[in-house]
Structures are given as C-alpha cells and as structure tokens.
Structure 1
Amino acid sequence: MRSYVKWLRPLAVLLALVLVTAACGDSDDGDTVAVQTDDAPSTDDSSDDSAGPSDTGEATGEPIKIGFQNPEGDPNGSFPEYSAAARAAADYINTELGGLGGRPIELVVCEMAISPDDSQRCANELVAEGVELVVSSLNFFGNHISILNGAGVPVIVGTPITVADFTSPDTFSIGAGGGCFGVHTGLVQFVTQDLPGIEGIEVNRVAVPWADTPPGVVCYYDLESKPLDVIKGVIPGTGALAGSNPNLEHIGIPVLPAAADVTPQATAILDFNPDAIIFSAQGSDCWNMVDALGRLGWTPQDIPLVLSGACTDFTAMAAAGDLAVGIYLTATENGVLAPLDAVSGQNLDNATIYQTKAAEYGLSQDNLFKGFSTQGFAVMMALDEIAAAIFAAGGDVTGESLKAGFAATDGSQPSFGGSPLNCAGAPVPYIAVCSAPITISQWNGEMLVPVMGGATVVGIDLVAGTELMPGPY
C-alpha cells in the first residue's frame, strides 16, 4: 500500500484541473542495441490496457517505456548504483504498487561515458526506443536535454548539475536539494550561518575544493563562489545576507576526478588556514580527500568538514575510522537513510520502504547506503506518486500527463524521500528546479545523526538577484 494515500486526493483534484487536455498515445519501438531494456511483465492480449492496479498490486496494463540515462563504466564518473536502485524501484512499483496508473514500467537504461558525444548518443537512442519520458540521473554536459525536448520527450533530472538542468523547459529537476543548486548554496548557508553556533567558532575563512569537471565548474562558480562573494559584498544580490560579512574570505581548489594523489590539493587547503571546509564530489574522491587531509594532520575536530550527500558511502565512512567521525554531510528532509528507530511519520514510511524494498528487489547491501542509490530509488517513486494522482483524477498516465503533473506541483504535498516538490514555483532563471531544501547530518562512526533537530537549510536566497555565473569571473 502506498504510504502517501492520505495526500493523494488533494493532488488528484489539482491534477484533474491540469490534465484535461493531456495528450496520450502509443510509441513506436526502436531497434537499438546500445540500451538495456528491463522488460515489463507481459500482458494478455485480452486485458484492458487502461486497467489500473490489480487487486494483487501487480500492474496489468500497457507497459510504459521510461528511459534512464546514467554514467557508468568511466573512471571520470561512474554511478552504477543509481540505475541499480532505479531498477529495484521499478520492480517494486510494478509488482506491489500496480505500475504507473496500472501501466508496468519498462525501464530502458542507456549507459554513457563522460563525454558530450556519448551524452547525445544516449539521448538519440532513447528517442529511437520510443520512450515516453526520460530520467536523467546526472549528466556532466546537459546537451542531451535539447535532443529529448526536441523529440517531445519530457525530462526528469535526478541530480541537476548543469545550466541546462536548471534552465530548460519541459524539464523537472526533482532531486532532493535541487542538485548543486540547493545543495551547494545550502552548504554555504550552513557553513557561514549555522556552523558557527554549532561548533562555537567564527567562520571567516572557507576552503572550497571542487570537482574539476564541466558541471563542477558551473556548480563551484555559480553556486559556491558567487554566494560567498554575495555575503562578502563584492557581488551584488538582493538576498537578506548580501554584504553581511565583508571579512569573509574563501579559496577554490580544483580537484580532478579519480586523481591518484590529492596531497597537493589537501596541502593548499590547509595552507589557507580555513575555519571550515566544504567539498562536493563523487564518493571515492571525497574519501580520498579525507585521507589526504588526515595524513597531513587534519581532523574534523580541528577544522570542520562539510560534504555533499553525493559523498555518502557508509562502507567508505566506516573504513575511514576516527577520521570520518564528526564530518557533516548534506541530507534531505525525509531522508531514506535515517535510522528507522530515530524517525516517525513520512520519514519513517519512506525510509522503511527504501531500506526494505530496495534490498528485496535486488539492490546490494553495499549500494543500499550510498547517496546516489537513494536518489535513483526516490526519482522512480516520485514518478509513481504523480502517476497515482493522475489515475485517481481519472486521467491516463502517459509521458505528457506526467509532465503536466510535475509542472503542477506547488509545494503543498509531500514527496518521497525529500521536501515537497514545487516545480510551479521554480525561481527565475532556475526555472527547472523543483526542490531546494536540504538537511545536515553528522557521522558518529556508526550512523548519520541529524543536526539542528533535522531542520531544513535553504540557501537559494544567496543567489537572489544575481546573474548566472557558470565560469570564472
């Protein structure tokens, strides 16, 4: 049974108004071999293609092809846990939740290398496959979105990190924290405004190692360096904290992905004599940096370190031992990695579903407690939530109706594993971003413990009234 039935009716009423003219139709099958299709359960020719969930919970209608574009197998960025979790969620939805409005999900996964050409290849192959909607996990280039939108295929972004993720029409960046839009501005907000009170320190010097990749450049300059400079007062902004700390200094230190030795970067960080450090990268790079800092004598107790949720990897954190104890990591409201005995309400419902069903439907224990696994599972559950509301409103679930459903979200209803989606209220120019709040947790050696009572941190006001700055300025 869906844990969100209690709020399904108000969302269904909202979608009933939006979906009157929603388009529906069949898609032609493509003949590509570069994509992996997780076939939906076959249906009997005599079955009703518009049927909703069966009494047993198994989907019985016409399958709906959902594309899933994900970087895998490239040392510059590989996130197989993302698609593995999405597959587990799709199997759970098909088997127990009746598919998307009765339509079993046929997940078409296209694995891509970290290259602009391969990004576009995947987009073209998914279009040829006849998918009705594409989930983009995280893409370093954003050049796939125009191809998909040009073919009339809406895009759901799990982890938005490029300008295209933030600003494209018919695109909905629903990942908790809005990718680096919410996470990186939230990191700056937390370190400059909340950390001083928690740690009993002044924070006037912030070191910001950053992932030296195409999206890393955008996320650092536009969403870390810029908000820090807004607080300092050297870049004008309209937010409440603009110009509030003219003594604030910061340094950015690029870090190549999968670098064998980051001792020079760690040395530069400590030579800056920071009051705090923030870092966002893929999991292994985060813990390579922690190791390098530790070999130079750093501890989290000496200089607080705040990492993005992408760094979350319980295995790596346990392996780091005492060096990881006390490190802060971004999380999300209703985060699904929360200890089940420490949460209640929606958070408990969502965390229980993830921690039991993801494993039951094939996600390995090693991947279960990784940040990108949670996002892969949650993005598919978000599709199910919107589809359930469409079906409850009497509509047919199609790529177009799902697009309309996401566009109609206004922050009034819960969302699986995150804050309520508010695609209708996305701020200009970040018109595709549907979620921005984050939470902060601290690793105690065994689990992540929420700080500030699990209160949300929202840093997007730090970029209010500013221009996009996707590169050096």
Structure 2
Amino acid sequence: MPASLTLGLIESPLHKGVTMMKQIVFLTTAAILTLSLVGCDGGSVDKSSAPKDAAIKPTEKVLKIGLINQEKEQVSFPELSAAARATVKYINTELKGVSGTSIELEVCATGDSAESAVACATRFANESDVPFVINATYNSAAVNNVLLGKKAMFTFNASLSDSTTENLYTLDPGVLVPLQVMFDAAIEQNVKSVSVLITDDPETKQAVMPLLDIVAKRNSITIQNVVPVGGSIDMTAAVTAAQPEQTDALIMVLTNADQCIPMGQSLKALGVSKLVYSSETCAKSQIVSSGAVDNWYFQISSDGALSESSPGPDTIKFRDILKRYSEGEPDFGGTAGFAVTQIMAVKSLYDQVGPEDVTVDALNNILKAGWKSKPLTAPAVSCPGVAPFIGQCQRSMYLAQSQNGSLKLVLPEARTVDMTSFSSIVSQ
C-alpha cells in the first residue's frame, strides 16, 4: 500500500478496519502481449493484441501473472493496475520478457467487499495457467482461503497473519515497519509525546490503536490525545481537539485522501507548526504538489513518487516507464510504485526458475529456500522473513518529507527494521 500505516491484528474481523488504512504507497507505446481486465465484480473484459513491431514475437506460450486489485467503492487503487500494465509492457518490449517468453497480466477488479475478492480469487484458482497471483485488496483472509497453496502469492500486508503464514509472502511493509520507521524519526527529533488524528471509523480505530499503542510504548513515546476525523472539509475542530500545544508532534492516520489537504490547510490557518508524521495516503502526488502538506514526514515503500529534482535510486527510471507505457496520463503516486515493485519481483522469480519450468511449487520453493532481489523503486527484499514473520520479505522503508510541493528523501538509504524485537506481539 502500497505501504502506509496499515495496521491490523491477527483476527480477520479487523481486516475491514485495516482496509480503511491502506493507501499506501504503484501504456500508449508498443505493447507485445494480451492484457486482460476482467471485472469479477461487474467489470469489463479488455484485451489488446500485440503490435507488429513488438520487441518479441507473439508465441503460444506466455507466462501469466494474476492481479486482484481494489478498483471500486470507497477504497480503490486504479493507479496500481495502470502501473502494473505499464510495467508488463516495459518488460516485454525492452527486456524481451523472460528469456524471450512474454508475460501476460490478468487483472481482476474488485470492490471492497469480501465477496467480490472471493469471486476474483475463485476465478484465478480455476485458471491452471496462472501460477502467481498478486493480491492488492484488504480482504486478504478471504483471498487466502481460496488461493493459499494453489498459487504462489504476494499480498497486501493487511494483518499480522499475512506475514506469519507459510507460502504467503508480502513485499508490503504493512503493519510494524512503517510504525517503527516513523518512531525512529520521532526519537531522533526528540519527540516525547504525540497526538493522533485518525479517520472517524470505529473499526479503523479498533485495528490501528492497539498496535500504535504497543509501538509507541516500546519507543517511550506518549500518545496524549486520539481525535477522530470526520469527512468535513474544515478540520479546525479536529486540530483544536488534538491540543497540539501539549504535544511534540502530530500523527495523521487519514485513510481518506480527501482529508489530507483540508487538514494541512487547517494546521496552517491555526498557526500550528508541530512536526507531522503521516501515512502514505497523504503522499499522493496531487496532494503533495498542492503544498498543503509541506514539511510533513512520510514513510514510503517506493521512491517512485519522489521529486525528479531530488530523486531516489530508481525514481527517474520509474517515471520514464510510466510516461512511455501508460495509457493516458500516468499517476506516479499512491500505489503505482508498489505495483512496479510487485511485477518486477515476479519477473525476477520467473527468470530464476526459467520460462519452461515456472510452476507454483517451483516458485514457492525458491521463496522458501531464500530469495533476494532489489525490485525497481523499492528497497532490497529477501524471502523468507525472520521468524515468526516468515512472509515479511520487505523490512525497509524510505523516510521522505514534502518540501515546496515535492516529495524528497530525508536520508539517502532506506531504514531497515529488526523484526525480531516484535516477535512477542504475535502471541498477544
């Protein structure tokens, strides 16, 4: 989320609360493959054929990747599907696919209900030629029940169980990594107390606050106030209720991107100049470019959204891919970087297995035995993770700050979190 401060507990009833958190953080030139957009929740089918000047010749054999993406209703990531398609076109056109065999992406679009996610999962479960599925919904429990063991999988890290389950892997920093990166930065800036402004949703609070409390206490930081934030365009009352004068910093857990700019404007109108740490929801390019969230700090899982004037290691390449291979105007923010990371990681796995030997078992065996990669736009990843978080392949994030309408890295290197210090949380 695409990673933001998505927080969850092991129990599946909390997944909906987590759903409201994750906004994290991921085509008109030559294409050489068929791209299927299948709306399992009332969507449409869209197939485009390879052009005559494709980089590799169409053959009967293709290597498929399934993508289940939340594109409808309140929480949606259309930029994720768009960036994934662009990345597949880039791979096939410039990298000659996987040793000359093209990759085909099949996208199944869902709403935010478990039923629509299950419909997509069932469809892929019945497609024997789709060995790998990327789950980009927060209904991970529902999807896992259908696909686990039948497909190799990367998933959104919607709950702790998503990083502790065998044969389930995530390149999403998810639950604890962004929190610890945020509190590391807060400690370095001598923060002792914070107020939390959180989306006004009971299930979100139920999912978020327990882990936020745990990590804050582990870092000796006091949570002074917790203020629910409604949908009003005027956030003055919420800011006032947070009593920023009594704390060293503010933490924004805003799952609705429409709240970010009004919140920034209200802070400025009230003359509040405290440190602000935010989930990736508010790091979308159109929000950052408005200037409303200037000086806010973000934990980001991809350097794709960074300013071209202050890029990360892969920012320029990422933007070039999306500019040349996207359909329409590319969106560099949101989950676009996450999408590129996922697709490039799957390509790396297919490369390692070899196009003739790609199977579910072969892919899972590599992930289980020890797989390392540096996917485009992301910090280095390695699977499996550290027990008990065996599926947590991504344990690093960048710390960025919005400055004059642009997102820039605070430190050139990603911060890596020692997950062993959180092992006791799993049993709580």
TM range (shorter): 0.7 to 0.9
Q: CA deviation at 1:120?
A: 1.9
Give matches, 1:230-241, under 5 Å. 230-232=218-220
| Alignment match of 1:418 (pick from 378, 391, 396) | 378
Cα contact 1:142–1:163 (8 A) shared by 2: no
> Distance between the aligned counterparts of 1:168 and 1:331, measured in 2?
24
Give the paired residue count: 387
In structure 2, relative to structure 1, the CA distance for the partners of 1:83 and 1:309 (3 Å cut) is same
> Distance between the aligned counterparts of 1:284 and 1:364, measured in 2?
23
Cα contact 1:206–1:278 (8 A) shared by 2: yes
Cα deviations by residue, 1:62-98 (Å, 9 ceiling, x for unpaired): 12332211111212x1111111111111122222222
Matched, 1:370 2:344: no
> Distance between the aligned counterparts of 1:437 and 1:89, measured in 2?
22
Name the structure 1 match of 2:264: 290
Name the structure 2 match of 1:318: 289
Secondary structure, in 3 states, of the residue corresponding to 2:112?
A: coil
Secondary structure, in 3 states, of the residue corresponding to 1:143?
A: helix
Cα contact 1:65–1:105 (8 A) shared by 2: yes
> Distance between the aligned counterparts of 2:328 and 2:65, measured in 1?
23
Cα contact 1:165–1:171 (8 A) shared by 2: yes
Larger CA deviation: 307-316 vs 370-379: 307-316
In structure 2, relative to structure 1, the CA distance for the partners of 1:311 and 1:272 (3 Å cut) is same
Q: CA deviation at 1:433?
A: 0.9
Cα contact 2:244–2:250 (8 A) shared by 1: no
> Distance between the aligned counterparts of 1:444 and 1:204, measured in 2?
24
Cα contact 1:186–1:460 (8 A) shared by 2: no
Name the structure 1 match of 2:182: 187
> Distance between the aligned counterparts of 1:37 and 1:101, measured in 2?
28
RMSD: 3.4
TM-score with structure 1 length normalisation? 0.71
Matched, 1:405 2:378: no
In structure 2, relative to structure 1, the CA distance for the partners of 1:340 and 1:265 (3 Å cut) is closer
Q: Give the greater-gyration-radius structure (CA).
A: 1
Counterpart residue type for residue 225 of structure 1 = D
> Distance between the aligned counterparts of 1:450 and 1:42, measured in 2?
38
TM-score with structure 2 length normalisation? 0.78
Cα contact 1:381–1:416 (8 A) shared by 2: yes
In structure 2, relative to structure 1, the CA distance for the partners of 1:311 and 1:360 (3 Å cut) is same
Structure 2 alignment gaps of length 5 or more: 1-37
Cα contact 1:74–1:113 (8 A) shared by 2: yes
Name the structure 2 match of 1:269: 242
> Distance between the aligned counterparts of 2:47 and 2:175, measured in 1?
33
Secondary structure, in 3 states, of the residue corresponding to 1:65?
A: strand
In structure 2, relative to structure 1, the CA distance for the partners of 1:420 and 1:271 (3 Å cut) is closer
Matched, 1:449 2:417: no
| Alignment match of 1:163 (pick from 160, 163, 166) | 160
Matched, 1:68 2:56: no
In structure 2, relative to structure 1, the CA distance for the partners of 1:340 and 1:286 (3 Å cut) is closer
Secondary structure, in 3 states, of the residue corresponding to 1:466?
A: helix
In structure 2, relative to structure 1, the CA distance for the partners of 1:32 and 1:204 (3 Å cut) is closer
Structure 1 alignment gaps of length 5 or more: 1-29, 44-53, 197-201, 233-244
Secondary structure, in 3 states, of the residue corresponding to 1:324?
A: coil
Cα deviations by residue, 1:443-470 (Å, 9 ceiling, x for unpaired): 221422221x323323455952422389
Q: CA deviation at 1:126?
A: 2.5
Cα contact 2:386–2:419 (8 A) shared by 1: no
Counterpart residue type for residue 315 of structure 2 = A
Cα deviations by residue, 1:297-319 (Å, 9 ceiling, x for unpaired): 43xxx101122334222222222
Matched, 1:221 2:210: yes
Matched, 1:149 2:148: yes
Matched, 1:387 2:350: yes
Matched, 1:352 2:316: yes
Name the structure 2 match of 1:139: 138
> Distance between the aligned counterparts of 1:101 and 1:332, measured in 2?
29
Cα contact 2:138–2:158 (8 A) shared by 1: yes
Cα deviations by residue, 1:253-292 (Å, 9 ceiling, x for unpaired): 4446x66665543333236732112224353343343234
Which stretches of structure 1, 4 residues or longer, exceed 6 Å deviation after superposition?
30-33
> Distance between the aligned counterparts of 1:340 and 1:31, measured in 2?
35
Name the structure 2 match of 1:204: 192
In structure 2, relative to structure 1, the CA distance for the partners of 1:395 and 1:294 (3 Å cut) is same
In structure 2, relative to structure 1, the CA distance for the partners of 1:32 and 1:375 (3 Å cut) is closer
Q: CA deviation at 1:59?
A: 6.3
Give matches, 1:293-304, under 5 Å. 293-298=267-272, 302-304=273-275
Name the structure 2 match of 1:305: 276
Secondary structure, in 3 states, of the residue corresponding to 1:90?
A: helix
Matched, 1:336 2:315: no
Cα contact 1:210–1:220 (8 A) shared by 2: no
Q: CA deviation at 1:228?
A: 0.8
> Distance between the aligned counterparts of 2:420 and 2:166, measured in 1?
24
Counterpart residue type for residue 384 of structure 1 = K
Q: CA deviation at 1:33?
A: 8.5
Name the structure 1 match of 2:14: none
> Distance between the aligned counterparts of 1:81 and 1:427, measured in 2?
31
Cα deviations by residue, 1:132-169 (Å, 9 ceiling, x for unpaired): 2211124155321121115x112212x42223422222
> Distance between the aligned counterparts of 1:370 and 1:414, measured in 2?
20
